[in-house]
């Protein structure tokens, strides 16, 4: 029942839009700060993650350390760009409500990557709030770009599928 309210209630879509804008603003500020400083380098963060992988109760698990050592650290320059622009683009997508479910999914992937690396900060809060956006399906983007383009896109896809079925028959 609660999920249906999240997915269908127009009043809840207003609350979801506010939540979506808050998340978008948070991501934009994180990405924009990195872009404008021109000094973002994830190397220090990654070294900190590796340091947290030791001891009796490591904050960073071995499988994540293996991923960091084999894929991320050797390509840190690429990841510096991906993190910076990923944060900014996720923020813009959420702020304007464009491909909201996909955008919030990638935001959650970044949040989980930060948490896997031993950083909590606001990441658990952002993940929790993002779950409401993800579960709400299209209702979170009702008052955004999704609310404008998705009905037209669905109509065109539905008409094309119906037309193909008639052509085959």
pLDDT in tens, the chain (169 residues): 899 999 999 999 999 999 999 999 999 999 999 999 988 999 999 999 999 999 999 999 999 999 999 999 999 999 999 999 999 999 999 999 999 999 999 999 999 999 999 999 999 999 999 999 999 989 999 999 999 998 888 888 877 665 665 555 5
Could you say which DSSP state residue 148 is in?
H
**CB proximity list for 38: less than 8 A, separation 6 or greater:** none
Given the structure tokens 């963060």, which residue do they identify? Answer: 45
Q: pTM value?
A: 0.87
Domain ranges of the chain: 2-168
Let me know: does 88 contact 110? Beta carbons within 8 Å: no
């Amino acid at each position: 029942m609660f999920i249906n309210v999240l997915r269908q209630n127009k009043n809840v879509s207003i609350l979801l839009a506010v939540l979506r804008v808050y998340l978008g603003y948070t991501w934009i500020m994180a990405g924009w700060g990195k872009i404008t400083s021109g000094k973002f380098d994830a190397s220090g963060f990654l070294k900190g993650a590796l340091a947290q992988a030791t001891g009796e109760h490591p904050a960073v698990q071995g499988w994540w350390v293996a991923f960091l050592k084999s894929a991320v650290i050797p390509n840190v320059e690429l990841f510096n760009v991906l993190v910076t622009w990923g944060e900014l683009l996720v923020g813009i997508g959420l702020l304007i409500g464009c491909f909201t479910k996909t955008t919030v999914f990638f935001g959650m992937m970044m949040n989980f990557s930060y948490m896997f690396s031993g950083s909590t900060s606001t990441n658990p809060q952002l993940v929790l709030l993002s779950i409401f956006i993800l579960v709400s399906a299209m209702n979170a983007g009702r008052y955004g770009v999704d609310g404008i383009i998705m009905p037209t896109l669905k109509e065109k896809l539905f008409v094309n599928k119906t037309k193909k079925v008639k052509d085959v028959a």
